[in-house]
Amino acid sequence: MPDDRIAGWRPSDSDLFTTYGDAFVPRRREQIETVADLLDDLAEPHVLDLCCGEGLLAEEYLRRHAAGRVTLLDGSPEMLDKAAQRLARFGTRWEHVRADVHDRVWRCGAYGGVMTSLAVHHLDGPGKRDLYRDLYAMLVPGGVFVMADLVEPVGARARDIAAAHWDRAVLEAGGAEAARAFAQAQWNYYRLPGPDPVDTPSSVAENLTWLSEAGFAGVDLVWLHAGHAIFTATRP
Ligand SMILES: C[S@@+](CC[C@H](N)C(=O)[O-])C[C@H]1O[C@@H](n2cnc3c(N)ncnc32)[C@H](O)[C@@H]1O
């Protein structure tokens, strides 16, 4: 990747997210633990962390599994640096790759699991369908895909409630200062008029359908709060 910008995600977004992430991500600790719970029994304990950010999911996976390994992928050099600092204590059990999630060059390998948080909504519908097919091919039989991400509400009432729950979660986790930063940055996707060229979440039903169409079994919605969902799917 020749320049420092990835489509739609600016270095200032990384700064804001690393400062306020614990508040901006609803029930963040619960989400991290849920993702890790879903990856606890992998036959091949090598996991890809897609759009890893600061490496919080990777940290939890490596902390839980002494024989575990993680490949971290992100488009932002700043985020990869922060992840490297966080994971230094795990020695050689991780590696990182700089790539754009939209590209296909990185879509190879044989992983026991793939995890991702707050990134796949940057792909449009056809992009998600292709990604799910490619991830299926990148998993060993029995491999597990776990995705935490924004979802698109079907109706206006559900959108309003997602927006309100997200605002409340930020205030509860981060107090007035985080709530101000959240509002100022217009981070609450569900309060925006839309459509947005960068953030393009799909509905729960679409995600479940596309995962099944890609060949996954055990396709399920595990967790949902404030428009943030966790899905799981297993390659038979
Ligand atoms: C909201 S953060 C989530 C980070 C981490 N997964 C977490 O939950 O804490 C989004 C991450 O996706 C990365 N990202 C955004 N667009 C990307 C793209 N097109 N290709 C690769 N990474 C991208 C950003 O650099 C950032 O680290």
Write out pLDDT tens, residues 196-212.
889 999 999 999 999 99
pLDDT in tens, 48-69: 999 999 999 999 999 999 999 9
- Closest residue by Cα to atom 12, ligand 1, is 51
pLDDT of residue 209: 99
Q: Where are the domains of the chain?
A: 11-155+187-234
Are the CB atoms for 230 and 223 separated by under 8 Å?
A: yes
In whole angstroms, give the CA distance from residue 132 to residue 87: 27
Please tell me what DSSP assigns to residue 200: -
What CATH number labels 11-155+187-234? 3.40.50.150
Are the CB atoms for 203 and 153 separated by under 8 Å?
A: yes
Output b/e per residue, 9-27; b: 16+ Cβ within 10 A.
beeebbebbeebbebbbbb
Between vectors from CA 123 to CA 214 and to CA 128, what angle results, nearest 5°? 5
pLDDT of residue 227: 98
Ligand 1 — pocket residues by CB below 6 A?
6-7, 9, 14, 17, 21, 51-54, 56, 74-76, 79, 100-102, 117-119, 122
* Atom of ligand 1 minimally distant from the CA of 148: 8
Backbone phi, psi, residue 182, to 5° = -65, -45
Q: Please, what is the end-to-end C-alpha distance for the chain in angstroms? A: 34
Q: How far is the CA of 52 from the centre of ligand 1 (A)?
A: 6
Q: How far is the CA of 120 from the centre of ligand 1 (A)?
A: 9
pLDDT of residue 197: 87
pLDDT of residue 119: 97
Output b/e per residue, 150-162; b: 16+ Cβ within 10 A.
bbbbeeeeebeeb
CA distances from 34 to 39, 54, 195, 231, 235 (A): 9, 18, 30, 10, 19
Q: How far is the CA of 74 from the centre of ligand 1 (A)?
A: 6
The pLDDT averaged over each successive group of 10 residues in the chain (236 residues) is 66 94 98 98 97 98 98 97 98 98 97 98 98 98 98 98 98 98 97 91 98 98 98 98
pLDDT of residue 3: 52
